[in-house]
């Protein structure tokens, strides 16, 4: 479980130089220029949403995984099977961002034809902030649902609660709207020490959390296991993904769909906030507000984040573009 809060007092950095740095860092690690630029774009887009744990902070670690052979820097994505409104993609040991984006785009193409589509992918690495992938469908006016395994698989050999053993597989749903409704979260309710505090009050949240974890794992790992897998030369490529895409246009009036989404939004946001929160917003609204702010005014990043990027820049011989104007 990773969480890095947005501190608006931190110094701000513009997205363009961060993307340029990320692209060059990934090229140094062996990625093709198109893949390197694509990866850098996803990580900056994640920062712009305020999901700082999964954005450019990850560049040094990802570069290391490519350099050490943990991930394949030059994957060739292959369609293993396509039938009707379903498709399965082999990630060839590459990082999960690239495989996830291709799975969703394939599902969008099929959903245009069939109204609904399912894409699964396997043999890929960490999938990042998976709201990136449901928003691909949303930008096409479609509903996106995305499941992914976590970067480490469930551990059922160490004595621990099932919630901890299952890990924190992420889950995302995107609904078209203004702004889109986007749930992007891990399914582990909270850290073990906090679960101990919650349990005496109510075990219901813990049980619901395990339910979400179970669905996520059952929607990914069994589908990935349906085909023989070669001996894996890239030990980090253990993630599996499943994308569902629905085109509302196949079900009736898109205008009525949009009006109902907005009616629900207005109703929900008119309600008093949850305890401990200052206002009621739908998932994705705060992130959309941050994206607008950070695009114009820069992304507030903590000193440790920037120091890690600076260390990598110096090691690779890449300029610290974020320190230069107009890059």
Question: What's the pLDDT at 326?
Answer: 56
Contact 128, 58 (CB under 8 A): yes
For residues 31 and 81, membership in a common domain is answered with no
Residue 114 lies in a domain: yes
For residues 168 and 29, membership in a common domain is answered with no
Give the end of a domain, one of 251, 268, 295: 251
For residues 19 and 135, membership in a common domain is answered with no
Residue 204 sits in a domain whose CATH number is 3.30.1370.60
Where do runs of H (alpha helix) occur along 149-284? 162-166, 192-198, 204-218, 221-224, 254-269
pLDDT single digits (tens) 106-147: 999 999 999 999 999 999 999 999 999 999 999 999 999 999
Question: What's the pLDDT at 98?
Answer: 99
For residues 100 and 60, membership in a common domain is answered with no
* Residue 11, pLDDT above cutoff 70: yes
Contact 138, 248 (CB under 8 A): no
Question: What's the pLDDT at 232?
Answer: 76
Residue 327 lies in a domain: yes
Report residue 189's pLDDT band, with 50, 70 and 90 as the boundaries: confident
Question: What's the pLDDT at 131?
Answer: 98
For residues 113 and 60, membership in a common domain is answered with no
pLDDT single digits (tens) 214-256: 999 999 999 999 887 767 799 999 999 999 999 999 999 999 9
Residue 53 sits in a domain whose CATH number is 1.10.1530.10
Domains: count for the chain: 2
Residue whose tokens read 């607008």: 292
Token digits of residue 267: 């109703």
For residues 23 and 92, membership in a common domain is answered with no
Give the end of a domain, one of 225, 251, 277: 251
Residue 281 lies in a domain: no
Residue 4 lies in a domain: no
Report residue 301's pLDDT band, with 50, 70 and 90 as the boundaries: very high
Token digits of residue 219: 């929607």
Residue 22 lies in a domain: yes
Rounded to the nearest integer, the mean pLDDT of the chain is 96
Contact 166, 221 (CB under 8 A): no
For residues 56 and 157, membership in a common domain is answered with no
Contact 134, 172 (CB under 8 A): yes
pLDDT single digits (tens) 153-174: 999 999 999 999 999 999 999 9
Residue 17 lies in a domain: yes
For residues 174 and 40, membership in a common domain is answered with no
Domain of 19 in residue numbering reads as 13-68+303-327
Contact 53, 83 (CB under 8 A): no
DSSP-assigned beta bridge partners for residue 121 = 89, 241
DSSP-based three-state secondary structure for 299: strand
Residue-wise burial string across 30-57, b where 16 or more C-beta atoms lie within 10 A, e elsewhere: bbeeebbbbbbbbbbbbbbbbbbebbbb
Residue 290 lies in a domain: no
For residues 191 and 156, membership in a common domain is answered with yes
Question: What's the pLDDT at 227?
Answer: 80
Find, among 236, 243, 242, 244, the residue nearest to 92 by Cα: 236
Distance CA 145, CA 84 (A): 19
Question: What's the pLDDT at 2?
Answer: 60
Question: What's the pLDDT at 203?
Answer: 93
For residues 106 and 146, membership in a common domain is answered with yes
Whether pTM exceeds 0.75? yes
Residue 289 lies in a domain: no
For residues 124 and 154, membership in a common domain is answered with yes
Give the end of a domain, one of 190, 223, 251: 251
Question: What's the pLDDT at 269?
Answer: 97
Q: Among the listed ranges 36-50, 127-141, 214-228, 308-322, which one has the minimum average pLDDT value?
A: 214-228
Phi-psi region of 287 (alpha: psi -120 to 50; beta: other; left: phi over 0): alpha
Question: What's the pLDDT at 229?
Answer: 72
Question: What's the pLDDT at 83?
Answer: 97
| Helix (H), strand (E), coil (C) string for 33-102 | HHHHHHHHHHHHHHHHCCCHHHCHHHHHHHHHHHHCCCCCCCCCCEEEEEECCEEEEECCCCCHHHHHHH
Distance CA 128, CA 46 (A): 9
Residue range 71-94: mean pLDDT, rounded: 97
For residues 17 and 165, membership in a common domain is answered with no
Contact 147, 195 (CB under 8 A): no
Report residue 190's pLDDT band, with 50, 70 and 90 as the boundaries: confident
């Amino acid at each position: 479980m990773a969480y890095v809060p947005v501190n608006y007092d931190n110094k701000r950095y513009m997205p363009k130089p961060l993307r340029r740095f990320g692209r060059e860092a990934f090229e140094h690690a062996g990625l093709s220029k198109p893949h390197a630029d694509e990866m850098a774009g996803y990580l900056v887009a994640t920062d712009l949403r305020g999901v700082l744990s999964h954005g450019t902070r990850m560049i040094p670690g990802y570069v290391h995984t490519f350099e050490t052979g943990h991930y394949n820097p030059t994957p060739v994505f292959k369609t293993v099977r396509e039938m009707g409104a379903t498709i399965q993609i082999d990630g060839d040991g590459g990082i999960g961002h690239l495989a996830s984006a291709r799975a969703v785009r394939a599902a969008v193409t099929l959903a245009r034809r069939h109204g609904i589509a399912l894409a699964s992918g396997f043999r890929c690495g960490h999938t990042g902030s998976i709201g990136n992938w449901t928003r691909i469908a949303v930008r096409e006016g479609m509903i996106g649902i995305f499941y992914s395994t976590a970067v480490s698989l469930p551990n059922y050999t160490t004595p621990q609660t099932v919630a901890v053993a299952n890990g924190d597989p992420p889950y995302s749903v995107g609904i078209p709207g203004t702004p889109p409704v986007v749930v992007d979260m891990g399914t582990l309710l909270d850290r073990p020490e906090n679960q101990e505090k919650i349990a005496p009050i109510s075990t219901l949240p813990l049980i619901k959390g395990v339910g979400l974890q179970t669905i996520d794992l059952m929607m990914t790992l069994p589908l990935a296991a349906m085909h023989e897998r070669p001996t894996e030369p890239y030990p980090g490529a253990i993630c599996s993904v499943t994308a569902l895409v629905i085109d509302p246009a196949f079900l009736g009036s898109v205008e009525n769909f949009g009006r109902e989404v907005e009616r629900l939004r207005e109703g929900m946001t008119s309600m008093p906030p949850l305890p401990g929160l200052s206002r009621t917003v739908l998932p994705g609204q705060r992130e959309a507000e941050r994206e607008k702010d950070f695009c114009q005014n820069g992304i507030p990043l903590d000193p440790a984040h920037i120091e890690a990027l600076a260390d990598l820049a110096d090691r690779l011989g890449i300029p610290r573009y974020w320190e230069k104007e107009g890059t």
